């Protein structure tokens, strides 16, 4: 059996792992580098070409979760290639179809529940749901030729379902462990603490309209924000895309609040997004939100700003520009790097000019160093292989008593 990390040994994002036996070849994740859009045309062509090569002869792909740095090149897989993921991950990927294309639509989808195994000839793979900022993220155990490899995917212990790491298998031969935060000394707050910080921020400025920028797919964060809104007597107002995301997730988990089931959750309709959704599928995307009952208008925001918390993204700028409100505050509940992206410039400038305060209330989707140590203590791997990190050598300092093997991209490890 061979193990090859095609990308991810010295880079956060764009992960792709290949495992081959005599009889089968599987890939785990097929991600797009986080800086792909900033690369030159030539580089982009080369990156795609390399990913195409990795896909050749693949018998199945296992997807850890629905973030583009793990699934961004699924379109390169041949038609009808089997793709395994959790039901939750498939639901999140299908949501891409609301505004663009479902990246799995040409593939043969096979669902794995947590703890469930499948076999690709002589390679056995078992999924384990773990906590991450993508709904339904999982780790995979790969067993073949008497060896056991555990791939952590993206994982954290400080989230709502952090304790799930205790379901992971122990005493594996290799642990491919993500190290996004391995250079940071900071410990991350729990989602409950994040919720409390939201409450504090709303109470600090009771008359203001609070805007919160957060990923539509970070379900646990939106739930924390919603609980904070309830505690402060405010209504959480979503754009129709996010409202559809929650509606889809609620089909899998009825505890998830939605615009149509929760009293203090409503929807606003930015022009371009609404138009696009109407063009694509009016029945399911707009009318199902019952706009007559659940819509918050410009006038509502302007006359009663203190009643609302508005979930925003930079693309909602033209809507925000029409609001004439005395006190507005912005909370960024998203990875800090997005703030400085070139395509957020106009939104950034608008916020600096119109918001009384801009603050960060966020918690990473990735394990901090202490959590990585807890995972290793629990799993007791014979060898740790760093992945999804820009500082693989740092693993040697953190795990002094363990065997750490740093690989290079495309280096073939014979097991």
Q: What is the DSSP letter of 326?
A: S
Q: Which is nearer to Zn ion, 136 or 257 (CB)?
A: 136
Q: Which stretch binds Zn ion (CB under 5 A): 112-120, 147-155, 167-175, 179-187?
A: 147-155
Residue 249 CB neighbour total at 10 angstroms: 23
Question: Contacting Zn ion (CB under 5 A), which of 11, 154, 220, 239?
Answer: 154
Q: Which stretch binds Zn ion (CB under 5 A): 42-50, 150-158, 233-241, 387-395?
A: 150-158
What is the Cα–Cα distance from 343 to 346, expressed in whole angstroms? 7
30 in Cβ contact with 71 (< 8 Å): yes
Query: Of 288, 204, 183, 195, which is closest to residue 245 (Cα–Cα)?
Result: 288
What is the Cα–Cα distance from 300 to 18, expressed in whole angstroms? 53
Q: Which is nearer to Zn ion, 132 or 313 (CB)?
A: 132
What is the Cα–Cα distance from 369 to 180, expressed in whole angstroms? 10
Per DSSP, the residues of 369-388 read HHHHHHHHHHH--SEEEEES
Q: What CA–CA distances, in Å, run from 74 to 5, 102, 251, 303?
A: 17, 10, 25, 46
Q: Which is nearer to Zn ion, 93 or 120 (CB)?
A: 93
Q: Which stretch binds Zn ion (CB under 5 A): 4-12, 65-73, 79-87, 184-192?
A: 65-73
Q: Which stretch binds Zn ion (CB under 5 A): 76-84, 119-127, 152-160, 213-221?
A: 152-160
The least CB distance from residue 101 to Zn ion, in Å, is 20
22 in Cβ contact with 39 (< 8 Å): no
Contacts with Zn ion by CB under 5 A: the residue count is 2
Q: Which is nearer to Zn ion, 143 or 178 (CB)?
A: 178
The least CB distance from residue 135 to Zn ion, in Å, is 11
333-372 residues in contact with Zn ion (CB under 5 A) are none
Q: Which stretch binds Zn ion (CB under 5 A): 146-154, 212-220, 376-384, 386-394?
A: 146-154
Residue pointed to by tokens 């580098």: 33
Residue 238: strand pairing partners = 267
Q: Which is nearer to Zn ion, 94 or 323 (CB)?
A: 94
- Rule CB under 5 A: say whether 88 interacts with Zn ion: no
Interacting residues with Zn ion (CB under 5 A): 67, 154
């Amino acid at each position: 059996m061979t193990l090859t990390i095609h990308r991810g040994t010295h880079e956060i994002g764009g992960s792709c792992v290949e495992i081959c036996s005599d009889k089968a070849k599987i890939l785990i994740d097929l991600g797009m580098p986080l800086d792909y859009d900033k690369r030159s045309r030539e580089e982009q062509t080369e990156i795609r070409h390399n990913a195409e090569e990795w896909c050749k002869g693949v018998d199945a792909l296992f997807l850890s979760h629905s973030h583009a740095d793990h699934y961004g090149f699924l379109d390169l897989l041949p038609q009808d290639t089997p793709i395994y993921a959790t039901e939750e991950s498939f639901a999140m990927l299908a949501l891409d179809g609301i505004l663009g294309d479902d990246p799995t639509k040409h593939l043969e989808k096979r669902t794995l529940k947590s703890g469930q195994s499948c076999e690709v000839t002589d390679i056995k793979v078992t999924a384990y749901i773990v906590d991450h900022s993508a709904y339904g993220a999982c780790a995979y155990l790969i067993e073949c030729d008497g060896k056991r490899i555990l791939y952590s995917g993206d994982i954290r212990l400080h989230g709502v379902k952090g304790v799930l790491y205790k379901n992971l298998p122990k005493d594996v031969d290799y642990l491919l462990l993500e190290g996004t935060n391995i250079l940071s000394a900071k410990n991350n707050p729990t989602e409950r603490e994040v919720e409390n910080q939201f409450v504090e921020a709303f109470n600090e400025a009771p008359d203001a309209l609070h805007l919160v920028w957060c990923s539509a797919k970070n379900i646990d964060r939106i739930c924390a924000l919603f609980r904070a809104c309830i505690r402060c007597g405010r209504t959480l107002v979503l754009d129709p895309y996010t409202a559809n995301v929650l509606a889809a997730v609620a089909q899998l988990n009825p505890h998830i609040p939605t615009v149509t089931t929760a009293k203090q959750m409503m929807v606003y309709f930015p022009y371009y997004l609404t138009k696009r959704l109407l063009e694509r599928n009016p029945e399911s995307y707009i009318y199902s939100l019952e706009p007559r009952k659940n819509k918050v208008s410009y006038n509502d925001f302007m006359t009663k700003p203190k009643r609302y918390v508005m979930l925003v993204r930079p693309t909602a700028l033209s809507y925000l520009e029409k609001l004439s409100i005395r006190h507005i505050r912005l909370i960024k509940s998203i990875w800090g790097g997005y703030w400085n992206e070139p395509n957020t410039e106009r939104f950034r400038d608008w916020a600096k000019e119109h918001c009384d305060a801009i603050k960060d209330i966020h918690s990473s989707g990735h394990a901090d160093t202490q959590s990585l140590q807890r995972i290793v203590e629990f799993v007791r791997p014979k060898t740790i292989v760093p992945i999804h990190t820009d500082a693989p050598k740092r693993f040697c300092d953190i795990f002094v008593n363990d065997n750490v093997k740093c690989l290079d991209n495309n280096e073939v490890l014979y097991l």
